[in-house]
Amino acid sequence: MKISGAQALIESLKKEGVEIVFGYPGGTVLPIYDVLYGEKAIKHILPRHEQGSTHAADGYARVTGKVGVCIATSGPGATNTITGIATAFMDSIPMVIITGQVATPLIGRDSFQEADITGITQPITKHNYLVKTAEEIPRVIKEAFYIASTGRPGPVVVDIAKDAQVNKFDFKYPDKVNLPGYKPTLKGDPEQVKAAAKLIAESKKPLIYAGGGVIASGAAAELTEFARKLNTPVTTTLMGLGAFPETDKLALQMLGMHGTAFANYAVQECDLLIAVGARFDDRVTGHLPSFAPKAKHIQIDIDPAEIGKNVRIDVPIVGDVKQTLKELNALIPVKAGRHLAWLKQIEEWKNKFPLSYKKNNFIKPQYVIEMIDEVTKGEAIICTEVGQHQMWAAQFFKFTKPRTWVSSGGLGTMGYGFPASIGAQFGRPDSTVFNIAGDGSIQMNIQELATAVIHKLPIKIVVLNNSFLGMVRQWQELIYEKRYSSTNLCNNPDLVKIAEAYGAKAMRITDQTKVKAALEEAMKITDGPVLLDFSVDKEENVLPFVPPGQALNEMIID
């Protein structure tokens, strides 16, 4: 029986186990939306902007581990997905972005709403396709999901010409993919794994540096076993939060520009740094020539392009993190009393340089995060926008499980967190989802309140409102002598009224003694979103802070 390309697309998505797609209709995807009209197996969610669609699909992917899917029309619809695609690419998030394209006879003629989306997205996708015939659709979708979800995950764009959606053919979904040029290495070289085990055995001050690759590979349990066998501390990147329980005595929390002082001191003093699914990015290393000056380096990563890209590696292992850690754990004997002197030094740093803040009569943003941790008992999915609030959330919420932290790390996308929290709530409907935002970031995709209200999503939107673009203001204070150029948001709208206009519940909190009660009240609201507008200390800074060009041990702590 012949079916149209649009029908073939939906059938292919069902074959891949897709249950939910986020999308915004338009002229070149009308055939797809006509098929979706009567579709029962796939739920379609209509955000209020294509950027919201991509971020929602991204958030869904992060909390479930599945491939996130979104749909956009050609031209401006497709180009509106760019920021979301780049966000997913930088953070290695598996997504398939389906865009419509003008009919094949019109391609290249500057036709109405035509944009070369495959050309535009080539640098920010793992792979992309321009589909000109209906017959290609099953194979391309099969390949797209395989590429997005295997090896180092990432976004794949599938751009489908309108006539390919309409034309009919005999549909058959392929059983397997055939991509001779794409063979991710899963098993680390046995000799390199043995060499790593030897270095580990010889080390007196080892430190595990865990990144988002641990989350992507589902290796949190193996990492925890590895750390406890070695009896050695673990620090995580922003993308690695939740990979190791921060309530564990071996946890050093996050390292880097706004990492804990004790994590940064440990990096600078360790004699062996074991990088697990981490890429030594600039926010972690600070002044690169001064990074971990006393250490040898082991790096485990599935992407060979990341091995040694920024730091010289003594033992490189290309392979899946989960599988490689299993192999290392098998080589490491159980031995009591390991690294006691090293752990004593770590404990001294923890006692001397704890994460702290000075209390006064204002609501302190750090206190709000602490209260979120308390009222949820640490059992929440935390989504964030980008800025000071993001760093405070990373510092003061204690993450104990993987896939509970949803934040734009590599690209630093303001406006990411709220639509991502919508995707997260759809992906984990039984979980408590918080979106922690600043008053600048929340306005970038605030229209998604309509989506959350319509679907009665019980998301808790916490706005740490300081009437500034906080992180930029902080840099202007510390580096540009308080010349607050274009960072004062003194004409902010009334966020409570905006939320209520969309049909959401909202409240404003100006008294620190009422912070916990407001959060507890928000936790009782289960029939839709609630926005809590906290008026916080306007010039509070995120500390520690490693200024640009400085080494990790040259932090501003107080």
Longest dimension (CA), the chain: 73
**CB distance 117 to 71 below 8 Å:** no
pLDDT (mean) for 517-532: 98
- Which of the following is catalytic: 11, 16, 50, 540? 50
Q: Is 162 a catalytic residue?
A: yes
How does pLDDT run across 119-177, given as a tens digit for each residue? 999 999 999 999 999 999 999 999 999 999 999 999 999 999 999 999 999 999 999 99
Q: Is 51 a catalytic residue?
A: no
How does pLDDT run across 252-301, given as a tens digit for each residue? 999 999 999 999 999 999 999 999 999 999 999 999 999 999 999 999 99
Closest CA to 33 of 77, 2, 80: 77
Is the pLDDT score of 335 beyond 90?
A: no
Structure tokens at 298: 């082991």
- Which of the following is catalytic: 14, 39, 43, 113? 113
Please state the separation of Cα 409 from the chain's center in Å.
6
Q: Is 414 a catalytic residue?
A: no
Closest CA to 13 of 103, 178, 152, 148: 148
The Cα–Cα gap between 401 and 241 comes to 8
Instruction: Please give the CATH topology (third level) of the domain spanning 365-535.
Output: Rossmann fold (3.40.50)
How does pLDDT run across 44-65, given as a tens digit for each residue? 999 999 999 999 999 999 999 9
The single-letter DSSP state of residue 488 is: B
**CB distance 247 to 241 below 8 Å:** no
User: Phi/psi at 280 (nearest 5 deg)?
Assistant: 55, 50
- Which of the following is catalytic: 257, 391, 414, 471? 471
Q: What is the pTM of this model?
A: 0.97
- Which of the following is catalytic: 126, 142, 162, 322? 162
Taken in order 370, 372, 373, 375, is the CA torsion positive or negative?
positive
65 Rama class: left (phi>0) / alpha (psi -120 to 50) / beta: left
Give the per-residue pLDDT at 333: 86
Say which amino acid occupies 152.
R
Q: pLDDT averaged over the chain? A: 97
- Which of the following is catalytic: 112, 202, 335, 359? 112
Q: Is 112 a catalytic residue?
A: yes
The CATH architecture assigned to 190-352 reads 3-Layer(aba) Sandwich (3.40)
pLDDT band at residue 462 using 50, 70 and 90 as cut-offs: very high
Give the per-residue pLDDT at 337: 85
**Domain 2-170 classified CATH 3.40.50.970?**
yes
- Please state the domain extents for the chain: 2-170, 190-352, 365-535
pLDDT (mean) for 406-429: 98
Q: Is 280 a catalytic residue?
A: no
Please state the separation of Cα 229 from the chain's center in Å.
29
Write the DSSP assignment of 90-131 as a string of letters. HHT--EEEEEEE--GGGTTTT-TT---HHHHHGGGSSEEEEE
Structure tokens at 482: 């308080």
